[in-house]
Structure 1
């Protein structure tokens, strides 16, 4: 281990686990300070310029303040692609990769896809990358999120159509979709106290939280819209709060959806609900 990596770990000790310290040291050295990979892995010591020393202290200060490394880097990895991120959008999660992977595998010939609550655009753009014959649209209520999603769209060479739409207002849309996917806010206010500071203090509340007295608020509204927006035989996919798999599937059945299924993530938690129109 070189002196720089050791210094980074010592500076952040107590705030992160050992595995997190290892990962952060690598990201800081290679991605943020531009250290040569061979030098890093061989443990070679390097001298930083005054500017990079100052940059390093700024980075360490932000990390000690619980700011996510993805916001410091300005990007997050998702499905093998780098997506621009900023505090105005939710950082893409591995669980969402499982959702996208399922959609791609189950819908190889899909023609029209809608992503509701797109954030960075990671779901819509990844689907467009892997299903290039599909026409992909995405909605969000945040202008900041849509601006970031549009930049990701350009950088990754896709042609997703992004629109500012609020699902709780009247939706005038003549388009019909073969797949609708959504990862809406699903963390209840009661769950706030269980969350890490790097999520709670930095990521946008409007993308995370839903009121305790109606945890299925977004799911119910999107599912209701799906009754008119989905083509006959089309599929609806949700990422869900692990605590509400049964409730979400029951709600969809009550609305008349068929083949409702709750799917567990890699950690064995209820994470995806899918249904057919």
Structure 2
């Protein structure tokens, strides 16, 4: 069967669950991951075909997609900020909004020697690292940074360690519950976190493939204490950020002003609330 013909069949079988554009994007992700072929390759060689063995593999993947298992978990890999990351059910799949947070930090004149002209060493802590996408992307792009990454899940940290090795960066990993720490034990120039922030009342907005497959430990907080991680991390930042150190958060889009108010009440200055590419309140930067 030609690849183009199978592509049309693949999209048709998935459209009851996904829109055609998303189904097509899955197909090309699989094509590149499994066959090292890109969309342009298929356009230039329309007569390319799949062998019987390749069709069996694709059929297996299609069955998993019909069960609404995320394509990234099926392939075991995804891309984030131009890097490749292994992913599995122990970690969240990195999102484009988080790439924006990483880019904000990297483009900061304070930490990017290409902008600031300074090349002094500094320390970064990523709290709730999951797959390690934030910590590893920062280590890869800010060569004067010593990067630490903390998570409560030992399985998540094992995945993050594999990703650090995959991307050839050194990260110092810490296995700890942030809610149980009273002091981080050292000073940092920058603390960043994408903590759990989805309230249970927002579950109906979460797609089934996310709700049924991604780790709830990394997603949800109690409705009546939705800012618990932000408050705790901010308290630690007050103790463990260097003078003029910076704190960055990814946040719940519905709690932007509340999160900003919390940080301002705790004495943080130069607070900035920024929207993501979809126009939602999504990230905050502030200074100690």
Q: Normalised by the size of structure 2, how large is the TM-score?
A: 0.91
User: Partner residue of 1:149?
Assistant: 160
Match of 1:206 among 217, 221, 242: 217
Offset at residue 242 of structure 1 (A): 0.8
Query: Is the partner of 1:137 in helix, strand or coil?
Result: strand
User: Partner residue of 1:6?
Assistant: 8
Gaps of 5+ in 1: none
User: Partner residue of 2:187?
Assistant: 176
* Aligned counterparts of 1:229 and 1:65: Cα–Cα separation in 2: 45
Q: Residues 230-260 of structure 1: CA distance to partner in whole angstroms, max 9, x if unpaired?
A: 0111000000001111111111111111111
User: Partner residue of 2:34?
Assistant: 32
* Aligned counterparts of 1:203 and 1:133: Cα–Cα separation in 2: 33
Query: Is the partner of 2:135 in helix, strand or coil?
Result: helix
Q: Residues 102-144 of structure 1: CA distance to partner in whole angstroms, max 9, x if unpaired?
A: 1111121561100000001010010011101110100001111
Match of 2:54 among 52, 55, 58: 52
Matches within 5 A, 1:112-191: 112-191=123-202
* Aligned counterparts of 2:12 and 2:279: Cα–Cα separation in 1: 35
User: Partner residue of 1:250?
Assistant: 261
Offset at residue 11 of structure 1 (A): 2.0
Please say if residues 126 and 135 of structure 2, whose CA atoms lie closer than 8 Å, have aligned partners that are also in contact: yes
Match of 1:63 among 56, 62, 65: 65
Residues 8/43 of structure 1: CA separation in 2 closer, same or farther (3 Å cut): farther
Residues 46/108 of structure 1: CA separation in 2 closer, same or farther (3 Å cut): closer
Matches within 5 A, 1:61-100: 61-100=63-102
* Aligned counterparts of 1:170 and 1:99: Cα–Cα separation in 2: 25
* Aligned counterparts of 1:200 and 1:124: Cα–Cα separation in 2: 25
Offset at residue 154 of structure 1 (A): 0.5
Query: Is the partner of 2:93 in helix, strand or coil?
Result: coil
Gaps of 5+ in 2: 114-120
Please say if residues 3 and 45 of structure 1, whose CA atoms lie closer than 8 Å, have aligned partners that are also in contact: no
Report the RMSD for the aligned CA atoms in angstroms: 1.7
Please say if residues 118 and 138 of structure 1, whose CA atoms lie closer than 8 Å, have aligned partners that are also in contact: yes
Offset at residue 172 of structure 1 (A): 4.7
Offset at residue 66 of structure 1 (A): 0.6
User: Partner residue of 1:21?
Assistant: 23
* Aligned counterparts of 2:28 and 2:192: Cα–Cα separation in 1: 34
